[in-house]
Copies of this chain bind each other. A is one copy, B any other.
Amino acid sequence: MGHAVAEALGDLLKRTLRANLYQALTENIGEGVDEVTYPVLSGLARTGPCSAAELAGEVGLDRSGVSRRASRLEAAGLVRRAPDPDDRRAVLLALTEQGTETVALMRERLAARIEESLRSWPEGEARSFARNLRRFLDEGPFKEV
């Protein structure tokens, strides 16, 4: 049982990484966002405005890497650097309106692909799969790893 899930997860990772899922999703979406910068963009959408250091923890990257990626996104007009009013050292990264739209669009794309492939599933199974996947994430072996 564990083996079956492990095998499937391995395949999932392999395929997503190999195929550069991000690359497919970021195709024709604009100049600044690519498979490299996307995680920062997406992470920023999850966290809301925050510092590069916090975002680094979120996306599992060094602070400097986040900063550099953010610079690219900033140049593309998707991310804005704003001085923290409470601390003049700090810089808050935030999505611009265009950035928000972009990440929404990409999520829409991904969701559409998934929805499409779930369409042929019995309603109940699709629902239980979604629920179980979420549960596996929340309680499973990757909870805190």
Contact = CB atoms under 8 A, between A and B. Distances in A.
A114 B136 CA distance: 9
A129 B127 contact: no
B10 A42 contact: yes
A66 to B, nearest CB: 12
A68 interface: no
Which bracket fits the contact residues of A? 35 or more
Interface string A108-120: 0011111111101
A2 interface: yes
22 contacts: A2-B111, A2-B112, A2-B116, A4-B131, A4-B134, A5-B129, A5-B133, A8-B134, A9-B114, A9-B133, A10-B110, A12-B12, A12-B133, A12-B142, A15-B137, A17-B60, A18-B60, A19-B145, A24-B145, A117-B136, A118-B140, A125-B128
Interface of A: 1-19, 21, 24, 39, 42-43, 59-60, 107, 110-118, 120-121, 125-137, 139-143, 145
